[in-house]
Chain A
């Protein structure tokens, strides 16, 4: 296997994903298949080839820093899992 269970757990921590033991086992296998498959890219010599980030290069546009929307806290908070007044209520951040 190209990747250990511990390595999968480390990546899951980076990705903030809680995985079940069965999911971890499945991911060990999945990584093995995918990392083997993508190895075919190493057949290609890409020395001196520029990377492509976007197929159509668009320069970053600039705009005035102006507020264009109306203040509407209720619309913004309507999907909040929990709210208190006009604020998002979130778990304690500093332990």
Chain B
């Protein structure tokens, strides 16, 4: 098997037995990127020289014998909203096209400390605003299963890199579904951790009460290994929570016997693609066959989640993106007269259409006279949405739903109508509003052989239970072994 095909777990085993060198593995992945990324556009920047240097350092550690860090020599991709010292980090935006951060995000530092080799920066929707990666200011990524279709977004490049074996794993961010949707569309495993589980220090902020960093992986065990590397308290992110991180891999083998799996009736709606509903119901049947107990539950405020999200997220975005003023870093419009015009031109020329839409809506809902009617109202409904989940968890341990109502759609299919695009996140967005962990694991294919994902939602800081349930399912079904014809 070509080294780029390996999982983290298998590659780490070969590296430790010295049957494969970190440099061979990294070269194999870089060759794979060169051969296939002209079709998928997973990467905005490939760090060939730096990656080979990191691989050489990993080989020295491996040659010295003794204990090596858990991701020693493992090639990974990092979403371009996550800062990487000395490597251009654009957030998919023209306004940061030439921005080279002088420091690492905490998650980047933790990957480096775990020995990982960072092969490149993954494409994404501009400032993580989008569901298809078509809002990237540079170019859209394409789904490896069908290049005419989107990979989902906003972390589309992270998903395509893992699905196309252009990295063994990747980091993304998820504000309303941006890890789970592309994981589902591309047939890989993706996890949005509980709000506060992973540091956001050094991650370009979009909607700060919702943003969370998480892993993409080829299988559930690799997902656990990646989460282990990045999870935990960080004094530099005051919203990161200081509670112990469990040993995720140790929990994997515990199975699902006796686990109560909640099935919310509001997540099986009119207009869903029949193949998606069938695959998710089949997944529930499989969990039942493995010893889990299905329980009917209700999340009555589900239909209000998208409206709530687009008030809260745009308000926070309008505030967070005020920092792009062309003064200390980033693009500055030339030939503007005075300060006010410099600001307006810089931002007018530097931001793309969707970013402008969200800044405008957010500015409006926070403006004098409208705050109570929109922003405060949305925060109250957010309380009701969160209470729905906490009540449901009185009757079940994990909730299973579709990740999205359809499989991957075609490029251009939803760009003309932003609201239609927003509805792609109808099953993922409430999980962010409630701050809960959510995982997407492959559960089949539709009639066009496009991947389908089932979403598992857990209690706060219940990532271990999600991974344990997903692992049992994956081992029983083996959907993760299917590869795109690339």
A residues apposed to B, CB below 8 Å: 8, 11-20, 23, 26-27, 30-31, 33-34, 37-38, 40-42, 44, 46, 49-56, 58, 60-61, 63, 72, 75-76, 78-82, 88, 90-93, 95
Contact = CB atoms under 8 A, between A and B. Distances in A.
Nearest to A7: B364
A88 B329 CA distance: 9
B363 A14 contact: yes
Contact of A92 (B195, B338, B347, B360): B338
Interface in B81-124: 98-100, 102
Nearest to B382: A52
Contacts of A53: 209, 379
A17 B348 contact: yes
A65 B329 CA distance: 26
Contacts of A93: 339
- How would you classify the secondary structure of chain A's contact residues: helix, strand, loop or mixed? loop
Contacts of B342: 91
Interface residues of B, number: 71
A51 B336 CA distance: 42
Contacts of A88: 327-328
Given A16-B340, A38-B311, A56 B380 contact: no
Contact of B348 (A19, A33, A91): A19
A88 to B, nearest CB: 6
B376 interface: yes
B353 A81 contact: no
Interface stretch (B155-163, B276-284, B302-310): B302-310
Given A54-B435, A56-B195, 12 more contacts: A16-B343, A16-B347, A27-B357, A30-B361, A40-B307, A41-B311, A42-B377, A46-B384, A49-B381, A52-B383, A53-B209, A55-B435
B303 A56 contact: no
B418 A30 contact: yes
B381 A46 contact: yes
Contact of B353 (A11, A23, A46, A90): A23
A30 B416 CA distance: 11
From A15, A61, A91, name the one whose CB has the most chain B CB atoms within 10 angstroms. Answer: A15
Most chain B CB inside 10 Å of its own CB: which residue of A18, A27, A33:
A18
Lowest 10 A-B CB distances belong to which pairs? A55-B435, A18-B348, A51-B379, A79-B329, A81-B332, A46-B380, A75-B102, A18-B344, A16-B343, A15-B363
A59 B225 CA distance: 30
Nearest to A76: B102
A13 B310 CA distance: 21
A75 B347 CA distance: 24
